[in-house]
Chain A
Amino acid sequence: SQPLSGRQAAELQSKVVPSKQILHSDNMEMEPETMETKSVTDYFSKLHMGSLVYSCTSKRKNK
């Protein structure tokens, strides 16, 4: 086996000092999406089922 060469060791060391570019991971932290929301209750008033809707919601409140 051959002796460790100081020059080569130094050379190797200089090679491994990373560029800051290695840090540029795709690890950017994004904000969440916003989805538009609809609800069946939005349309209660427009349903021609007043009493039915009433019974539905009151039943729910009692639960």
Chain B
Amino acid sequence: SKASRMEASCLELALEGERLCKAGDCRAGVSFFEAAVQVGTEDLKTLSAIYSQLGNAYFYLHEYAKALEYHHHDLTLARTIGDLLGEAKASGNLGNTLKVLGNFEEAIVCCQRHLDISRELNDKVGEARALYNLGNVYHSKGKNVASAGTHDPGELPDDVKNALQKAANYYEENLTIVTKLGDRAAQGRAFGNLGNTHYLLGNFRSAVLAHEQRLLIAKEFGDRSAERRAYSNLGNAYIFLGEFETASEYYKRTLQLARQLKDRAVEAQACYSLGNTYTLLQDYEKAIDYHLKHLVIAQELNDKIGEGRACWSLGNAYTALGNHDQAMHFAERHLEISREVGDRSGELTARLNLSDLQMVLGLSYSTNNSMMSESHVVDNSLNGTRPRVGRRHSMENMELMKLTPEKVQNWN
């Protein structure tokens, strides 16, 4: 009959979509799933499965609005046909998508629904997964609010602290279940994110303990990406413990793995972290070496923001070594790039660095009127409303604060 031919065609298209997504080609998979939807089916459970997979494919393709749409269709359908397990799954997926979109309150409702149904069905695996998702939503919520401010880990407003503490609790609850279930992979994920939550809360020792567990499990699985993540996170935690030597060792492992995995962006980040670590160790030669490596990759990847950061760091390191010519060169590059990318705060930093360097070098300002005429702008922006920017930028502002602008004027 025509109807059964239609069903067969829909199924075949969906199966091909599944195969393609499993093989990692989500883009092609999406085409087959969408064709399957076009053909249509009378079977609502099949349709629900197609919607769900379309949602996930779009999620992996970072097309979250589409992912949201299909997971929503799936949820509606699952409710209509009274498929409780299907509803739980759709709620979880919808929750994850809402989290990425920054809609934390609705994400929490959805993930909580996933949790409630899993408990109702006595589905331990589902319960654990819902707890992990809830942890992730609260972590993102906390981090999101935190990144809008200018504080450091450990110095958090109450709402941020509450969200992060909840995240930690959910990860712990998840760990209890997945440990009982003997699911090492799930333990690895929970330890990693628990470690990052402790890090943001300023519990650096706990962060180290969690990331050490994550590292152990990554090695068990031979999962080198996870291993690299753990090294990087361990490095970050040791920085805040003031153990810079240890941090540098972990960043070096990160760098080694980034090179093995041929991930240039991660390699650049590792070099940047190492440059900063050696600056903290006051070994400026090594700092310069790593910052130059970072600079080369940033240029290669056409990462202007990274390039600007590299120039800023190089300017600082050369200044520390007393190599003012090189410092000047990089401060000028920093200024150029900040202008190019429209980074106002970077531009102000670069201007002040330059005027300070020029002061030290005893250069005449008369050759550069434009710079001095704008130093009032710098003053005003420091005393008045500072732009709300990221933490890194806020630190640049703090560096600025120490550079009493009055001195520049007196010199002139």
**Which residues of chain A have a CB within 8 Å of any CB of chain B?**
1-5, 8-9, 12-13, 15-43, 46-47, 49, 52-53, 55-56, 60
For this complex, 21 residue pairs linking A to B, each with C-beta atoms less than 8 Å apart, are: A4-B361, A15-B356, A16-B315, A22-B395, A23-B236, A24-B391, A25-B273, A28-B236, A30-B192, A31-B190, A31-B214, A37-B52, A38-B52, A38-B86, A42-B45, A43-B46, A46-B45, A47-B46, A52-B8, A56-B11, A60-B15
Which of A16, A26, A43 has the most C-beta atoms of chain B within 10 angstroms of its own C-beta?
A: A16
* A31 neighbours in B (Cβ, 8 Å): 188-190, 192-193, 214, 226, 229
Chain B residue numbers with a CB within 8 Å of A8 are 359-360
**Would you give the shortest CB distance from B112 to chain A, in whole angstroms?**
15
Asked if B133 and A34 sit within 8 Å, CB to CB, the answer is yes
State the 9 A-B residue pairs at the shortest beta-carbon distance, nearest first. A2-B362, A36-B89, A29-B229, A38-B49, A31-B192, A31-B189, A38-B52, A16-B316, A43-B45
How many chain B residues have a CB neighbour from A under 8 Å?
87
Given the complex, which residues of A lie within 8 Å of B317, measured CB to CB? Answer: 16
For B247, the closest partner residue in chain A by CB is A23
A52 to chain B, nearest CB (A): 5
With A34-B132, A56-B8 as contacts: A13 and B189 at CB distance below 8 Å = no
- Verify A22–B192 contact, CB threshold 8 A: no
Q: Are B356 and A12 in contact (CB under 8 A)?
A: yes
Alpha-carbon distance A13/B360, docked complex (angstroms):
10
B280 touches A18 (CB 8 A): yes
Residues of B within 8 A of A34 (CB): 129, 132-133, 189
The answer to whether the Cβ of B35 comes within 8 Å of any Cβ in the partner chain is: no
- Given A35-B56, A35-B92, A35-B96; 15 other pairs, CB 8 A cutoff: A4-B360, A5-B362, A13-B320, A22-B392, A26-B391, A28-B199, A28-B236, A31-B226, A33-B59, A35-B59, A36-B89, A37-B56, A53-B11, A56-B8, A56-B12
Query: In the complex, which residues of chain A have a beta carbon less than 8 angstroms from the beta carbon of B18?
Result: 39-41
User: Is there an interface contact between B49 and A15, defined as CB atoms closer than 8 Å?
Assistant: no
Q: Which residues of B contact A24 (CB under 8 A)?
A: 152-153, 236, 239-240, 391-392
Task: Indicate whether B345 reaches chain A with its CB closer than 8 angstroms.
Answer: no
On whether A23 and B133 interact (CB within 8 A), knowing A9-B324, A40-B46, the answer reads no
Chain B nearest Cβ from A62, distance in angstroms: 13
Task: Give min CB distance, B192 to chain A, whole Å.
Answer: 4
A37 to B126, CA, bound (A): 11
CA distance A27 to B50 in the complex (A): 35
Task: Identify A18's interface contact among B45, B74, B276, CB under 8 A.
Answer: B276
Is B232 close to A, CB under 8 A? yes
Chain B residues 48-81 with CB under 8 Å of chain A are 48-50, 52-53, 56, 59, 74
Other-chain residue from A12, A25, A60 in contact with B360 (beta carbon distance below 8 A) = A12
Determine if B136 is an interface residue (Cβ-Cβ < 8 Å). yes
Q: Contacts A1-B362, A5-B360, A29-B229 hold; do A49 and B7 have CB atoms under 8 A apart?
A: yes
Does B169 sit within 8 A of A, measured CB to CB?
Answer: no
Chain A residues with Cβ below 8 Å from B136 are 33
Which B residues lie within 8 Å of A37 (CB)?
A: 52-53, 56, 89
The residue that A17 contacts in the complex, of B228, B320, B395, with Cβ under 8 A, is B320
Look across to chain B and name the residue whose beta carbon is closest to the beta carbon of A13: B320
Contact of B133 among A21, A25, A33 (CB under 8 A): A33
